Structures are given as C-alpha cells and as structure tokens.
A and B are shown apart, each in its own frame.
Chain A
Amino acid sequence: MQPLFDSLPVVDFHRVFLKYDNGHSVLKNIQFSLEKGSFHFVTGASGAGKTSLLKLMYLAVHPTSGRLQIFGKDLSQVSASKLPDFRRRIGVVFQDFRLLDTLNTFDNVALPLRIIGMGEKEIKRRVGELLSWVGLENCMNEYPQALSGGEKQRIAIARAVINKPDLLLADEPTGNVDDAMAARILHLFLELNRLGTTLVIATHNQSLVRQFNKPQLHLSQGTLEIIQPMMTIEEENV
C-alpha cells in the first residue's frame, strides 16, 4: 500500500495572493497543484511574478492571503522552527546564483550537505562526483570571483541538486550556459525528475519549453494560467 503522503500534492496553491510591503500586488488568486514527480515550466514576461511564485514555493515569503501547502502541510499551520525541515527537501537554483564568495567551489556545493550534518567522507564523494558531472572537477578550489557566469551557474545547479531534493525549483537555470551545457543540465534535471523529484523551472527560453513539451504555469500580470503541453501526433491518435 502506498503511503498517504505520496498521494498528496507536493505543492498546492489555493487562492493565494502575494503583496509586498510597498503595497505592490505581485500574485493574484493563484491556484494550482503539483503532483509528486511532475515537471512544470513557469513562463511569463519579466515582472510577471515568476520569481515571486518560486519564492513562495521555497518558503522565502509567505502568502498575503490564501492557503499554501507544501508536502501536504498547510504552511500557515507550520511553526517557524519546523520550516528548516521543509526547506531541506527543496533545492533552489537562484537566478543570481547566490554563491558564497568566501567559500570555494567544493564548499559552496557541499553547503546543503553540511547543513544536514552529513559526514565529510560522504560529502567528498558526492561533491566530487557531481562536480565531475557538470565539468567543474578542476575548479574545486576556485572561488566564485575567479569563475565565469556559466561556471557559477553550474555550481549553483550542483548545490541545488546535491541533496537529491524532493522539489527542485530553478530560476532561469540555463541562462548563462551554451546550448550543449544547457542540454546536459536539463538532462540532469530530467534524470532527477525520473527518480521522483518534482521539478519547476522558470524560464524565458521558449525553445526549451517547446523542446521538453511540459505543462506551463504561465504568469501574466500576476495571474496564472496553466498551459498543457501540445500532444504529439501519436498521442492524438491514441
């Protein structure tokens, strides 16, 4: 028998509104659910609220009104001391990478593992493996200042996935890498998705959206529309 929580949506927005302190209303009446193991793009023009939507999902901001459930729990019912337990299950690729300048590549990627208290031996193995996979095995001791935008982005991605999160949120994860690396990164995401990670990628890149043909959470002036993927000829025939 499947456990009950597996049947619950990983993310569930119910009439969520978000307004910042300056009074600017960013998101209006957002309502959608993401099932475990799903893959969605978040699309929309600049300023449409993509980053704000992700911020709600990685618990950086709280809804002004409405109900937001993550991993089946209503966040308004979760105490502040319990939030870290939720955050540890979420991997985030920030648009501006947010690498720590005082740490080298290895330590930046190892950060989420150290936070959960993993042993150094296992950390060394996992980080080494992942950095090799993203082609940064020779930059382990480099500091972010010495790296290119593409390299920083790959470190940010490695850091987000190192802990095999249940929910992976990526804000423009392929914005600074070439097409070949973008394809590799997305295949890494797909592999994680295949293993059960729920994936949400915010992007401007329409060719990426077309290539992967996944449902879109399309934002326009703070309101959300769900665009289902186009069916292939075979699927239509079925």
Chain B
Amino acid sequence: MFKIKRKLPLKQASPFFLTWITMLMTFVAALTLFASMSLNNIISHWNNVVSGSLTIQQPTYDLNGLNRQDEALKELDVLQEFLKNQSFVESVHILNDDEMEKLMSPWLENLKVLNELPIPKLIDVTLKKNASFSLDSFKTDVNALAPYAQVDSHRIWLSHLIDLSSGIQKTIFIIILLLALTTAFTVIYTTRSSLLVQENTLELLQLMGAKDWSIAFGVASNSFTRGLCGAAIGLILSLPIVGVVITLVGSTPDSLFLQGALSTKQWSVIIALPLIVAALSFITALITGIRKLRTF
C-alpha cells in the first residue's frame, strides 16, 4: 500500500492548491477558535459569578425620602442571620464603608459626599455550587423581614450582555463549520481533479489488480501530507497574532477579559488543528477516491 503510494504518480492535480487552502483555513480557524474559546470562558465565568451570587440592597431611606437608618440596620442584622441559616447560602457579607467607597469610586469624584447620598447597604450573598431554590419565594421571605429590601440576582443586569456574547459565539461556530465545509469541498475538488487527470494511470492499476481502496489510500495519503503541511503553516502564522492579543489583554490592569485565558485542553485543540485538518483531508479524499474509482 505504502509502496504503491511511493512508486506511483498518485499526486494531486493541483499540488499546491490544497496546501494553500488548508493553510488559509487553518489560519482563520485557529484565530476563530481562539476567539471562540476565550469568549466561551468569559461567558462561563460570568455565568458562574452571576448564578453563584446575589446582592440584597437594604435602603436606609423609605420611599418618601425619610431616614430610617436605625430600623434598616436592625433589619440588616436580622437578614444576615436569616441568610446564614439558608441551606443554599455559602456565605454572607455586608459591604463595609471602605468597600462601598471602592465600589462607588469610579462614579464619584468626591467620596466625602457618600454619606450624604441615600445609598443603600449592600449584602453580598454567595450561593452554594448548584444551589437550587426559588428566587420568588426567597424574595418574599426577605421582604417579610425587611420590607424595603431589594434582591438582585445580577442575571438581569448581564443577561443582555450574555445574550450578545452567546450570539457572537454561535456566529463563530457557524464560521468554523463553514471553514470545515470549505476545506472538505476543496479536498473533494482536488481529489476528483487528481483522479480525472490520472484516469489512464488509475485504469492501468485497476487492470493490474490494484484494489480501489489501496489506490484511494495512496491519493488520500497525499491529501493528508499536503493538508498537514498547509495546516501546520497556517497554525504557525496565526500564533504571533494570538500572542499579540494575549499580550495586549494581559497588559490591561483589571481586565474582565483575563477570565478568557485558555486552558491546557483548549490550547491542545488549537495545536491539534493541523492534525484535525489533515485527518479531514484524508477521510474526504479516501471516500471521494473510492466513490470515483468505482465509476471507472
């Protein structure tokens, strides 16, 4: 089988076409995968954070603007006790003044006015992993203890952003699918062209008793080699761009996008792209070859 491949002119009709196409496809696929996986990590992180925590606002002024600080602080203690006793709550933390200042600092030039503003007390509630509870009944319980308290699940704030990110992710998935299909069609085209150009040779091999699958294997091996070479070059070319993106993101002081850093497994997928592309080329060429040879 390998001898046949080595000794016979079973080559692509357009030898460099497949190499160029797979190089281009892998280049784009590597960047797209990198972006997709990073985005996926960011979304997953957001999802974890959002679904794993709650914030309860305890206003120190009532709806008419009257100060009810003492009452509010008492309710805050009651709420804290209540929350600590809930089975789905991991931890409860009431934000102190320093933390409130830090939280508000991006929006307030003069932090001294903080005490004059009707800013509510905030309770940061961390939920247990895979916590299961009814948010509505939880809100009812909280309001029974503190009528002015407001429970924020955060999800509402971020849901639009998450929807947008999910949309981008779906688009990226479609792009990768299109890239894979384009590669497959390119392989089909080059394999068919190759077989047609070598029709006389292939017919001769068939007449000498060569089996269709072994001829197709020879053609597919060529596709594999060319696909692997092209994809490897494409991957190598994409790495500097990925490196620049990582450097730029890493240089930002408090970047939300740092959460998008790829895991070893995800890097393995990107590094394995040339093999995946080569395997796709091999399988496509093998199937196309066998089907085409049967028509000779």
Contacts and interface: CB of A to CB of B under 8 A. Distances in A.
A177 B243 CA distance: 69
Contact of A84 (B3, B9, B206): B206
A103 B9 CA distance: 8
A116 B4 CA distance: 10
Contact of B9 (A98, A100, A115): A100
A19 interface: no
Contacts of B201: 100
Interface string B176-200: 0000000000000000000000001
A111 B3 CA distance: 10
A92 B207 contact: yes
B117 interface: no
A107 B209 contact: no
Contacts of B205: 111, 115
A80 B206 CA distance: 11
Given A84-B210, A88-B209, A98 B4 contact: no
Interface residues of chain A: helix, strand, loop or mixed (majority): helix
Contact of B207 (A58, A80, A81, A103): A58
A103 B211 contact: no
Given A98-B200, A100-B201, A100-B204, A84 B211 contact: yes
A59 B210 CA distance: 13
A236 interface: no
A102 interface: yes
Q: By CB atoms of chain B within 10 A, which of A100, A107, A117, A120 has the most?
A: A100
A100 B208 contact: no
B112 interface: no
Given A100-B9, A107-B7, A115 B209 contact: yes
Interface in B21-68: none
Contacts of B4: 114-115
A227 to B, nearest CB: 29
A4 B140 CA distance: 94
A120 B4 CA distance: 12
A87 B7 contact: no
B294 interface: yes
Interface string B203-219: 11111111110000000
A112 B4 CA distance: 10
B73 interface: no
A86 B294 CA distance: 17
B8 interface: yes
A60 B205 CA distance: 11
Nearest to A112: B208
B188 to A, nearest CB: 22
A179 interface: no
Given A80-B294, A120-B3, 9 more contacts: A58-B207, A60-B207, A86-B209, A87-B206, A87-B208, A100-B204, A103-B8, A111-B205, A111-B208
Q: Sorted from nearest, which 5 A-B pairs have the closest CB atoms?
A: A88-B209, A87-B209, A102-B9, A84-B209, A115-B210
29 contacts: A59-B207, A60-B203, A80-B294, A81-B211, A81-B212, A84-B206, A84-B209, A84-B210, A86-B209, A87-B206, A87-B207, A87-B208, A87-B209, A92-B207, A98-B200, A100-B8, A100-B201, A102-B9, A103-B8, A107-B7, A111-B8, A112-B209, A114-B3, A114-B7, A115-B4, A115-B205, A115-B208, A115-B210, A116-B209
Interface of B: 1, 3-4, 7-9, 200-201, 203-212, 294
